[in-house]
Amino acid sequence: MPKDHNLSLDASAGGKLVIAGEYAVLLGCEAWVMPTLARAHVRIETMQASASSGLMTLKNYKTHPRKSPLSKHLISKSIEWGWLNEKKLSLDYELTFDFQSSEFTHGDTKLGLGSSSALTLAWVRALRAYHESLKDSQHQKRFESEAKHAYQLHDSFGGGSGIDIAQALSEKPILFSMTHDSDGKVLRRIKDAPPLAFPWRPLTFFVGHAQNTRPFVRAFEHAYRHQKNKVDTAIREIRESSQGMIDLAFQGDDFSHFLEHVSRHAAAMSELGMHIDVDIVSHEHQEIIRWAKAHGGAAKPSGAGGGDIALAWIPQEHLSSALSTCPLKPMELLK
């Protein structure tokens, strides 16, 4: 690399909110997902070695005090798979990295909006830009598919449905579903969601504490193997109420019927939580659900539940009085 070569590349990707179809999406049901305002950012720079002190570099990423398990994993896998090659840099230059996901926090608490997947995709986009800047034709061709590389990293870090990556890739509301082929490989289907029939965007609330999704998903998968009949009943309710929400949001004009499906979806998530022995619908979610119902509306958790985000829909004519008695302050989360 020439000594006068200065490189500074920024890339970003957005988060997600699941509106309907949680858990059932793991069994082939279509889920409705919307993008968030929050974005994760990655910066890649080349700096003179003497100027890179204190920054995360290709050499010190394992021991750097600001490393996170995710940033370390992303860099480690990129080296292992040949996406990064330290030998391409001269002895005078270091490749430095900055990972930022502060937009996904409320105070010191992570909001649970798919920040890990957003950071993963931002990293892939930054690497693609890096190789384009070097005019590295081999890597440029390799990075033509952002989705392939983002899902490869996502799956190596624990997997899941991939719904977060799908929304980050789209940047628009989507309908997401997944199945498995005969070899067990995950097949993901992503469609752009149609325009809303009329403005049914929910109020969004952070319930005050975060919840790691993975333990809830593991509990669900264990229960599905060992008490399938009970779990199936709740999943059937989630699937039917989710589809009702989707149909009415994009094709119908019956808001009261839409709210019935929201309430039914929340009740089914609560029932599923009892079967898998986790509080999908937490105490704080229940508080928002009761508040919404008292004002003619309906509410439900978003995502795996347990914490993070609640969604509420309130009829326009009751919205002002409802907000004056709301137990939590709504947040602007949706793009």
Return the beta strands (E) in the chain as ranges. Answer: 7-20, 31-48, 56-57, 93-100, 105-106, 109-110, 174-180, 186-192, 203-206, 298-302, 309-313
CATH 3.30.70.890 placement within the chain: 203-324
Q: What value does the mean pLDDT of the chain take?
A: 89
Rounded CA-CA distance 13/166 in Å is 11
Q: Are 17 and 113 in contact (CB under 8 A)?
A: yes
Give the three-state DSSP class for 80. helix
Query: pLDDT (tens digit, 9 = 90+) per residue, 238-286?
Result: 999 999 999 999 988 789 999 999 999 999 999 999 999 999 999 999 9
Query: pLDDT (tens digit, 9 = 90+) per residue, 273-315?
Result: 999 999 999 999 999 999 999 999 999 999 988 889 999 999 9
Does the pLDDT at position 91 exceed 90? no
| pTM for the predicted model, two decimal places | 0.91
Rounded CA-CA distance 309/287 in Å is 13
CATH 3.30.230.10 placement within the chain: 7-192
Helices then strands, each counted (H, E), the chain: 10, 11
Annotation: CATH topology of 203-324: Alpha-Beta Plaits (3.30.70)
Q: What is the mean pLDDT of residues 76-86?
A: 87
Report pLDDT for 1: 46
Residues 6+ apart with CB under 8 A from 291: 299, 312, 322, 325, 326, 327
Q: Are 311 and 299 in contact (CB under 8 A)?
A: yes
Residue 43 DSSP one-character state = E
Class of the CATH-defined domain 7-192: alpha beta
